[in-house]
């Protein structure tokens, strides 16, 4: 049983959920975990609500649910990660911090590559401080930051990473702002367009 406490709200916020949808997300995860499909049908108007489809897509992006093409009763199913997240809500655990994943983020950048005479893989210490400030300002979660960074790096791969920003300047550069924020928005907008395209084409 989930206890609705301030600690629960903090866990959702730390995971990057917004206040207006976090409890709907919780209801979706709990219903899929326990097979309460009638609750979901009532909630999403039998899978016809566009707002709910966007929420489902966000949960898929986070890796908490996935499509269930072989299931005749439900369009989605909870993933192992989703079950673990659900189970963790009442646990006394320490939230993951930027320090926990900064090294993994640095690994996304090509090693030994220079741009403008500067290594694009910046040092972790310099990036950590900027990322903390970035997260505090923009409220984007780890998964979106990683996805945006991967897309940015991949976009320069065909040209051998020419004119690519160094990791630290990608997060923020004085006088230019945050390229990371722009790519986070680009990823979010692309995902939203894909959802509406799928809806219009009758794919979901």
Is 197 inside any structural domain?
A: no
Q: Could you give the CA distance from residue 114 to residue 136 in angstroms, rounded to a whole number?
A: 29
Determine the pLDDT at residue 130: 96
Q: Could you give the CA distance from residue 199 to residue 53 in angstroms, rounded to a whole number?
A: 9
Domain boundary among 48, 75, 91: 91
Tell me the pLDDT tens digit for each residue of 104-157.
999 999 999 998 888 999 999 999 999 999 999 998 999 899 999 999 999 999
Is 53 inside any structural domain?
A: yes
Q: Is pLDDT above 90 for 40? A: no
Q: Indicate if 119 and 47 belong to the same structural domain.
A: no
Helix (H), strand (E) at residue 124: helix 124-138
Q: Could you give the CA distance from residue 79 to residue 63 in angstroms, rounded to a whole number?
A: 7
- Total tally of structural domains belonging to the chain: 2
Q: Which domain holds residue 176?
A: 98-191
Q: Indicate if 126 and 50 belong to the same structural domain.
A: no
Determine the pLDDT at residue 105: 97
Burial class (CB in 10 A: 0-12, 13-18, 19+), 164: buried
Determine the pLDDT at residue 135: 94
Is 196 inside any structural domain?
A: no
Q: Indicate if 120 and 75 belong to the same structural domain.
A: no
Determine the pLDDT at residue 137: 94
Q: Indicate if 102 and 85 belong to the same structural domain.
A: no
Nearest Cα to Cα of residue 52 among 201, 149, 195: 195
Domain boundary among 68, 91, 114: 91
Nearby residues of 203 by Cβ (< 8 Å), 6 or more positions away: none
Nearest Cα to Cα of residue 156 among 112, 109, 124: 109
């Amino acid at each position: 049983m989930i206890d609705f406490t301030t600690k629960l709200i903090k866990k959702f916020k730390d995971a990057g959920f917004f206040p207006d949808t976090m409890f709907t997300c919780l209801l979706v995860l709990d219903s899929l975990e326990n097979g309460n499909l009638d609750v979901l049908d009532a909630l999403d108007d039998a899978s016809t609500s566009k707002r709910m489809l966007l929420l489902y897509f966000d949960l898929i992006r986070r890796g908490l649910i996935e499509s269930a093409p072989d299931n005749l009763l439900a369009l989605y199913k909870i993933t192992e990660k989703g079950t673990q997240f659900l189970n963790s809500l009442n646990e006394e655990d320490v939230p993951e911090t930027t320090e926990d994943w900064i090294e993994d983020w640095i690994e996304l950048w090509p090693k030994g590559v220079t741009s403008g005479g500067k290594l694009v893989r910046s040092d972790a210490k310099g990036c950590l401080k900027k990322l903390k400030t970035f997260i505090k300002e923009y409220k984007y979660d780890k998964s979106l930051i990683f996805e945006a960074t991967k897309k940015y790096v991949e976009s320069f791969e065909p040209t051998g990473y020419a004119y690519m920003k160094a990791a630290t300047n990608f997060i923020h550069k004085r006088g230019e702002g945050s390229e990371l924020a722009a790519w986070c928005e680009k990823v979010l907008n692309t995902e939203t367009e894909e959802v509406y395209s799928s809806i219009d084409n009758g794919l979901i």
